[in-house]
Structure 1
Amino acid sequence: MLHCVGEDALEIYNPLSIQYADAQAKKMEEVLTAFRQYCAPRKNTVFERHQFWAYKHNEEAGIDKFVTDLRLRARDCEFGESEDLMLRDKIVFSIADHRLRERLLSTADLPLHKAIDICRAKEAATMQARAMAPNSSIEEQLVHAVSNTGRFAKYAKPQPNSARVALQEEWRTRACRNCGRLHKPRQCPAYNMDCRKCGKKNHFAAVCRSNPDVALVEAEAPDVNALYIAGISRAHKGNSRDTGWSSSLRVGGTLVTFKLDTGAEANVLPLAVAEGLPMPLNMQRTDTVLVAYGGVRIQPKGVVKLLVQARRKQAQLYFFVTDASDTPLLGRQACVQLDLVRKVEALARSAPATKQDLLQQYSSVFEGLGEFPGEHHIYTDPKAPPVIHGCRRIPYSVYDRLKDTLDDLQKRGVISRVTKPTAWVSSLCITEKRNGSLRVCLDPKDLNRAILHQHFSIPTPEDVQGKLAGKTIFTILDEKDGYHQIKLDDESADLCTFNTPWGRYRFHRLPFGIKSASEVFQQTNSEAFGDIEGVSVIADDMIIAAASKTEHDSILQKVMDRAIQLNVKFNKDKIQYMVGRSDTWATSLVPLE
């Protein structure tokens, strides 16, 4: 046998100390036993028992599967005669249903087989109850709601304080679903704003929950005999407001006012109007169904062919007669036939050729102080003690210039004087800009410790680098006054009170120095301009990058229109218009010409 097993087996055999029963007559069975002992895995009873007690019960798999797995694991634990007791204890410990566990614990001298039977009975009862009442969860909620509004509900002890605390904690820590920011109740900046993604109101595009069209996997089969019309409506007395385009046309010598609907696929004539025409109607039966807005299906009374005369043209048109509308409707094809509407391939403003043309064409974007929609609220830790700083000494060389700067900021509505007591008062910090003007900032060292961070990712130049690949034309815009384009609510303005030699002032716009200012400003800009393809925003700098002049002009027009819509202002002195490279932070990103 040793001759046949090979060199690897001999290397194992040679160091083995085999105790033969008869050294003179060695038996092959003794050698095989030694090999089995060598190859058998070494067991660690402590580890196996740890694995046994750590094993978790999967309720979906059922109690029988759980018991089987436990028996397999118990084989290596060497429980001996106490194995059934260990299995029973493990079952009781692992049951998640507290009522079932109470029943097991309340049973005296509980053997293993009885514990298993109780668990099986509970499993079966649960499955049968679900089968009998598929909506049990909803019914349970309704029953619970009714029980809470019963005759004894009025005697329940109210807990207004805990509810108020929970509500305050929620809006402090949970971002709003409509704007993505933290704010007080009923102060959402997205209120009454149009979403640029779905067109609906009261939310921003960044948090729009509408499903994109590409996610559609299957759709209802179209009806070949259905025509879409969106303009079905009934007239309302006393409402003379113009709700769309209309035109008066002659039908058989009678003047009829039609609503022009280029989105409709058919012409519609109300039954009352059709019966009032002077000529006889040769109405024919039709199987075509009209589909109005919202999917409402309308079965016409019939279809007629009538001669319709406009100013320059006339045409024989088919009309679906229905009593579901009071307004005659002319569809897209008929409007084109009668030359009432024309298709315009392109309608665009001429793009500014130079920087000066840009400043003239969009002069309002470069004048005054901008203001993003909504008000920002600065959140603070309510446990942080307020701190009041005294007034710092101002160098005589900037004394007069500082007073002029404060007067200018007050005139523009950035700051205002404060006479009432405020809990927080910060020191004033002055920096000088490149053009020699002064920038008034807060030194909110203590206030920043109390401010809660509003986390938002700020892109780095490296993050933007990939977007600029293959682009050859660039325009760099700088938002004028940066943070000051974000308005603060009244409570946050009080937090931003500061001392000066001429008394206290407070900021009504987001000041420089607040630790959350950069994230807030980046988030606001991203929501305002981030959805425009070809635009990259870092802080108050905006890069428009394009591969051609046509593409560049299209992106620039979208940015300018958006700025007008949101009342955002740019700095006309820092524009770099249609350049091949930039001397700002984007220098390393923009390729040389």
Structure 2
Amino acid sequence: MSVKPPVSFLPTPGSPSISWTQWKQLFTNYLLAADLTNATPERKQALLLHCVGAEAQRIFYTLPQPVSPTSSTSTTTPSTAASTDTSDTTGTPGRDIYQQTLNLLNLHFSPTVSVVAERFRFRQRGQLPGEPIDTYIAALRELAKKCEFKSFTDEMIRDQLVEKTNSSRIRERLLIERDLPLTKAIELARHVEVALREAKELTTTSTPRTAAAVRADSRPKKTRRQAQTKDSISNASSSDSSSSRQCYRCGSRKHLANDPSCPATGKMCNFCKKVGHFAKMCKQARAARQVNHLEENQLAPTSSNVHTPSARHTTTTPIADVQVLSTEESTTNTVKPNIFCTVSVNSVPITLHVDTAISALTSTNIKVLAYNKSEIKVLGCFNAKFTYKDKECISTVYVVQSGNCLLGKDLIQGLRITIDGATLSCCANEASHSPTASAQASSTAIDTLEGETHTCSSDHITHPNTSQFSDLFTDEIGLIKGFQHKIKLKSDAQPVQQNLRRVPFAVRDKVTDELLKLESQGIIEKVPGASDWVSPIVVAWKKNGKIRICVDLRKLNENMVVEKHPIPHIEELLTELQGASCFSKLDLKSAYHQLELHEESRNLTTFVTHNGVYRYKRVCFGLASAPACFQKVMHSILAGLPGVQCYLDDVVVYGKTQAEHDQNLRRVLTKIRDSGMKLNSKCEFNASKIQLLGHVVTSEGIRPAPDLVKAIRDAPAPQSVDEIRSFLGLAGYYAKFVPNFAMRVQPIRDIQISKDPFRWTQEANEAFEQIKASITTEGEALALFDPTREVYITTDASNRGIAAIMTQLHDSEERLVMCASRKLSQCEQKYSVGEKEALACLWAVEKWHTYLWGRRFTLRTDHKALTTLLSTTGTGHRPMRISRWATRLLNYNYSVEYKPGRLNTVADALSRLPLPTSSDTNYHNYEEDTESVCLLTFSCQSVSEDKLHTAILHDNVYSKVSEYVVHGWPRDKSQLTDEFLPYSRIQNELSLHGSILFRGIVWWFRFP
């Protein structure tokens, strides 16, 4: 029988699929199964190198080669000389060549194990939610292999099981045992796990009972056998507690009973009245400790426990005046709400806790017992008149040392109060407040206080940056704990070392400062040696006048294997938010920079600057694998938390109620703090609506964001027949969303077909406004953005403005998602046709950066030359502006597609009907960012600057070429004379700056 050899360990460059230790065990088993253990060392060496893979075999031959046992001399390498295990020293004669080869591969592929780090990982490993005991024990055994516990391995695994199990029932059962070996602990844990699972299946749903704040001692006494059984368990628990170093005076595990700082020292037990311990640790109270579960229908008073106020005391203090001011509901109890009443006692407002289960007191010296049977000392009593609405009642008030004021059921009945869920009602007649009716909502109750009931919000999160989570909003960049990103290259990847791109002198100091800042923050570091991969930097301006350093990683991205971790589907995100009424939106600070880059991947991000060569220590922007990796990390961190959704660096926390939202928000903020991340101060908290991926989410539902339809809604009226034609093309695109489209558009068509001079009438303007309103309000003209669908950005430019639309395919139909346009400035209107079209592409991409960055999209233009000018292919003679704009687009992953103007009606219409440029429009002044610097060197001093400009003005060919560059070249080449044909061939490379023509980035001048 032939045995198939194991899969190759490292067939190609990159990371192996399994660890070397696991693969070595597979190979050993293969030798045993194939009966090759007795083969010659040379044959076993050949089998080993054959099975290990081509790349691993190549690495082996670069290492110091093993010495044959027949060799008379041996070569000692530095690596072998440094080895501490002399028996495994490579190159020692006498050991067979197979064992030496195996030792060489062990030294190379086996990572250095840090016992301290491995023990830390072992101690941190807890049982995961839903993880079976057997799986958890197997994981602990695997981790313990590298911890060198030796003879204490079983004890360490047992202790970790007891401490880190997620079942308190299992922990309690294991702590009862005095002698607990690992095998017994596993067996007991399995039994409890099975019992809990079966009990859960057998348990039927029932309404939970609510314990009252004060309980009556009405349970039957336990038999002697039951008491003995409970005592034995208590003694066993006590023994375990003492072994866990628990103080038998106060119950703390932080000190022993002889510690002078014990809070129980000198304190009297409320149960046995002895000094030196608390009631919860009292031995006499253990047998008597019990809780009386009171059913809701037991609220009705009986003859044995209800006494009228006059029957309680014969001597009382003067009657005080008590008036109910308001009521409120506490939301801390998720089973049944606690209700409070604010009453006026002798003109002093006091909050009373409504407690319907309190027993009526029978005498002045009555003992009040808490739920744990400890006595509450009564300081005194007095009679008072209670007023609630129009009802009055006289009752005795008992005063204790501390705690909430309680409103007993005798006063509830006397004041005719009916409890209906979380509200109070005042009954209209005696019949409606019978003893039975007081325990449930009365159908005849009127004057409900629901409007006066409000939710307590003392711990409501409003501004976490000023509360207990202020440490999340510091200036430092966070570092995510326990995660690293490792870049995986393709098998045929070839390293690329690119040259330095010179940084302009005007920004060189700013670049230096930014590099020092990034280095001080631990984001980048100097490269200690040579690197096979070197990329250049790109400097861009921010809105605030500062610079941003980007690395051109396109060559690296082309050779990278990008992990396909799923990005959340927009429909899934929005579906999860259904029903929520309160939202918070968290924004991670420099999100990618918070994720550490694996040591082996850092050299791949090496970039060269005028200050030297650096590399990233954190994940950098522009890395193709960054989005999927970061989403995977965030998914792992937030996994299992309710009420939270994450899309890359945007985290949305929500809840159906304010209390649920606050609880979810605390969990998320705590998780973010524990993971080491930091937040931006621009986070949104406790909002009734938020904007998420182009959607406005509220408790009422989901709708597109208002700014998505702004370009259509605010489009100005046409001023020419051409603009009417463009608008009709745009309106026709949405004709199916506009009722009676043909009738509404007729006044505008009349102007279009008229032979009279253009005149915009009032009737046409009304039709124009109605059509716009129909598109933006009546009809659902805009589709919701879906991150999983392919995105198309279609742009166009005219002499007046630039415009763009974003579309996506829905059921084979291309639907409009959003559109935008703006006017060109006076300076931008002087750009060449190609530059205006390129500006439209750049403006659209940067405007919709939130939707486009980190994903693939298609950029459509009706200027065919841009398919090469904005891509990495084609001529290198780009016009200066287009060259700089193409550099700014390096951070995006896109392809350029040509779409003729006749098929581009929507973008064409918006460009001819642009929106006015406002001060808050999100775009740069592109001309100010891209000022040209011309350095002219003349060997002939007789040519002055004035003569140069005079020559330009008198050169007819130069002037005509400049005019063609700005306004466009004739479509029919036959209209050009021979002297213009050479310039027509390079028209896409020409640009005009002032009065000087440039070809690409080189100053170009034709001397007459």
Q: If the length of structure 2 is used for normalisation, what is the TM-score?
A: 0.30
Q: If the length of structure 1 is used for normalisation, what is the TM-score?
A: 0.49
Which of structures 1 and 2 has the larger relative contact order (alpha carbons within 8 angstroms, sep 6+)?
1
